[in-house]
Amino acid sequence: MTKRFQLKAQRIFSEDLRKQIVGQIERKELTVLQAVREYGIGGKQTVYTWLYKYSTTLKKGTRMVMEKDSQDNRVQVLKSRIKELEAALGRKSLE
């Protein structure tokens, strides 16, 4: 039984292209997986390395915690504040 080895051509991405890909991910035009597939990048870890190096917002060790309940609660609070202010404006305009 013989083993067959297939050599892959090594792809080198310029720094400008790396920054462009990171920018697309930051603007949510691409996901990491989509970038890997579209540009033929070796793997997700390569893209994450670029993100840590070139991103202005996505730095290693930074966590962004978003909870649906807290966002919904905040929206409700703001809507009730708007109603209060509209009512106050209406009362003031009647005076």
Position 64 scores a pLDDT of: 65
pLDDT in tens, 36-78: 999 999 889 999 999 989 988 877 777 766 666 677 788 888 9
Per-residue pLDDT, 37: 92
Residue ranges covered by each domain of the chain: 15-59+67-93
Query: By percentage, how much of the chain surpasses pLDDT 90?
Result: 46
Q: pTM for the full model?
A: 0.55
All residues at 6 or more sequence positions from 19 whose CB lies less than 8 Å from its CB, including other chains: 54
Tell me how far the alpha carbon of residue 46 is from its chain's centroid.
Answer: 17
How many CA atoms within 13 Å lie on the side-chain side of 77?
6
